[in-house]
Homo-oligomer: A and B are copies of this chain.
Amino acid sequence: MPKHALSLDTAATRVKAKKTGKTAQRILQIATEMFAEKGFEGTIMDELCQRSGVNKASIYYHFGDKIRLYDSTLTHLFKRVADPVLQAVAQAETPLQKLRVFIEVFARNASQTHAMPAVLMREFASGGIHMPTPAREQMQRLLFALKIILSSGHQQGVFKQTDPLTTQFMIVGTLCFFISSEPMREAIPAEKKLDPTLDEIVIQLTRTIESALLSPTIENT
């Protein structure tokens, strides 16, 4: 009966992980890449062994089975993006600054951790059924933070009232599509110059959302 190294995160586990965690960490790293690239079913354990240089039974020793490996992967992945966003938002002062920081830090971290948009989009496509609760909670933490930003901005009279879910989908959706489309866009070198950079997307996205929040309502024609 193997005792799984990542089942708990107690002090004892962490001490042990320092010496033994190399293998588990490497598995997690390659698994993240593969799950993002190929999805759950598309990820083959034998290939994971080959790519990571880790023996198959070691993977099963550390993670139990494929689905638990997937769960660990996703939880780590989403936490790695959500944490810095929430931290940065907490440090910003005004709702407008918090909103800007939310978009910018999410964009930067999702772009660096580009497996995250891929995995998120796959999970949405599957109806989120296989999404582990801790991973889902990270997304809900982001949504909750955005809710606070928007409502406090509204209370202070600087923002118009908007639906936070729509706004989150605008931010997350736009950026996930942009980040994940990078390989496709790179494949067309002729238009490479015409494509916007991440910074440009962030600027336009921020401007767009801000303008809707700050400007008066547009009349229907």
Q: Which residue of B lies closest to A162 (CB)?
A: B204
Q: Is A84 an interface residue, CB under 8 A from the partner?
A: no
| Most chain B CB within a 10 A radius of its CB, from A125, A165, A175, A218 | A125
Query: A212: which B residues are within 8 A, CB to CB?
Result: 204, 207-208, 211-212
Known: A121-B124, A183-B127, A218-B214. A204 touches B42 (CB 8 A): no
Q: Is A60 an interface residue, CB under 8 A from the partner?
A: no
Q: Which residue of B lies closest to A35 (CB)?
A: B125
Interface size for A (C-beta < 8 A) is 57
Known: A200-B166, A208-B170, A212-B212. A180 touches B124 (CB 8 A): yes
Known: A212-B212, A215-B211. A37 touches B183 (CB 8 A): no
Q: Is the interface of A mostly helix, strand, loop or mixed?
A: helix
Query: A129: which B residues are within 8 A, CB to CB?
Result: 183
Q: Is A36 an interface residue, CB under 8 A from the partner?
A: yes
Residue in B117, B184, B215, B217 whose CB lies within 8 Å of A128: B184
Query: A122: which B residues are within 8 A, CB to CB?
Result: 39, 121-122, 125
Are A177 and B172 interface neighbours, CB within 8 A? Answer: yes
Are A166 and B180 interface neighbours, CB within 8 A? Answer: no
Distance of A165 Cα from B127 Cα, bound (Å): 26
Are A173 and B177 interface neighbours, CB within 8 A? Answer: yes
Are A210 and B218 interface neighbours, CB within 8 A? Answer: yes
Are A37 and B173 interface neighbours, CB within 8 A? Answer: no
The 8 closest A-B pairs by CB, nearest first: A173-B173, A127-B183, A208-B212, A173-B177, A128-B184, A41-B41, A118-B125, A121-B121
Could you give 24 example pairs across A and B, Cβ below 8 Å? Answer: A39-B42, A118-B126, A121-B121, A121-B122, A122-B122, A122-B125, A128-B184, A163-B196, A165-B195, A165-B196, A166-B174, A166-B196, A166-B200, A166-B201, A169-B174, A169-B177, A169-B201, A170-B170, A170-B173, A170-B205, A207-B218, A211-B211, A211-B212, A214-B218
